[in-house]
Amino acid sequence: MILELKNIDKSFGEKEVLKGVTFTAEGGKAFGLLGRNGAGKTTSIRILMNVFPANSGEVFIDGKPIDYDKIGIGYLPEERGLYPKKIIIDQLVYFAELKGMNTKDAVKSVDYWLERLGMTEYRNKRLDTLSKGNQQKIQLITALAHNPDIVILDEPFSGLDPVNAMLLKDVVKEQISKGKIVLFSSHQMSYIEEFCDSIAIINAGKVAISGDLHEIKRNYVRDKLVVSTTNPEQIKADLGNSCFKRDDGTLLIQLGTPDEKQAMMKRLVENYDIDEVKVFEPSLNDIFVEYAGEKI
């Protein structure tokens, strides 16, 4: 299954929030939707979920306009919250029913998920009696209980302890392995790097870059070298402003052009005591800062 957002424009009053947002996410893979606060991620998600219509552009599934009666979407919003005063099983079943399940199946599915997330003992308790992390697990069930085709998780790991984060990772991997489209939105780049095969970075309502994460990294301009050496100070003194010392003690050397790579490597190996020299591969964090950083 392939989900496509094509040329989505959206304005609220005079303010243009999305300008031609386009990206593609595939089933069986996780997709990371990145962007700074206010970049337009939540608006894109809401349009995808048909909360409000786009001014122009369309959402497609396998090349056809999406039919919301047939495609189930599960959503874990960034702003968590359910009914604090209501019994957990009642509200979970209610949300599953709203998504089109019958009562019997809804109860069965909710019970499965309560068991799976170790929450069965809270089944008949009020939500506000639970800790924040446990409330978050209950909220996750609202996104998964109706067995959706598309799972949208907005900052799923925030507020979870390492054990619960591990449990959530397993659940997410399981959803991916079932062939579902898992759409992540997060500022925690390590999780996105761990799960997502492809990403889109939205900046000021436009897609700044999108596609396969490995390809994005590979296509990154290869004009920096990372050098591990016993005498960094001397190299730094010799190369001047084009050399920076990194937090881990290695050096980052900025080349004039990528073509200077071979010559610089040779020069370093011949003149200094070098442990390792390699072309700098950016982390997702570096890519994010570059594409989402300054243009707002």
Query: Quick one: 184 exposed, middle or buried, by C-beta within 10 A (0-12, 13-18, 19+)?
Result: buried
77 binds another protein (CB under 8 A): yes
Among 139, 164, 185, 203, binds another protein (CB under 8 A): 139
95 binds another protein (CB under 8 A): yes
Are 62 and 47 within 8 A, CB to CB? no
Q: Tell how far CA 66 is from the center of its chain.
A: 22
**Nearest alpha carbon to residue 231 among 243, 219, 242:** 243
Among 4, 16, 58, 97, binds another protein (CB under 8 A): 97
Neighbouring C-beta atoms of residue 152, cutoff 10 Å: 22
CB of 219 to another protein, least distance (A): 35
3-state SS assignment for residue 173 = helix
CB of 288 to another protein, least distance (A): 25
Are 21 and 4 within 8 A, CB to CB? no
Among 23, 31, 75, 191, binds another protein (CB under 8 A): 75
Among 4, 9, 16, 90, binds another protein (CB under 8 A): 90
296 binds another protein (CB under 8 A): no
Report the interhelical angle of 132-144 vs 103-116 (nearest 10°). Answer: 140
CB of 242 to another protein, least distance (A): 48
Q: Within 2-41, which residues bind another protein (CB under 8 A)?
A: 12-13
3-state SS assignment for residue 88 = helix
3-state SS assignment for residue 59 = strand
Among 100, 118, 258, 293, binds another protein (CB under 8 A): 100
Closest to another protein by CB, 156 vs 224, is 156
Pseudo-torsion of CA 78, 4, 62, 145, nearest 10°? 0
From 43-51, 177-185, 197-205, 278-286, give the range in contact with another protein by CB under 8 A: 43-51
Among 65, 81, 240, 249, binds another protein (CB under 8 A): 81
Q: For binding to another protein (CB under 8 A), which residues are involved?
A: 12-13, 46, 49, 51-53, 73, 75, 77, 79-84, 86, 90, 94-95, 97-100, 139, 142
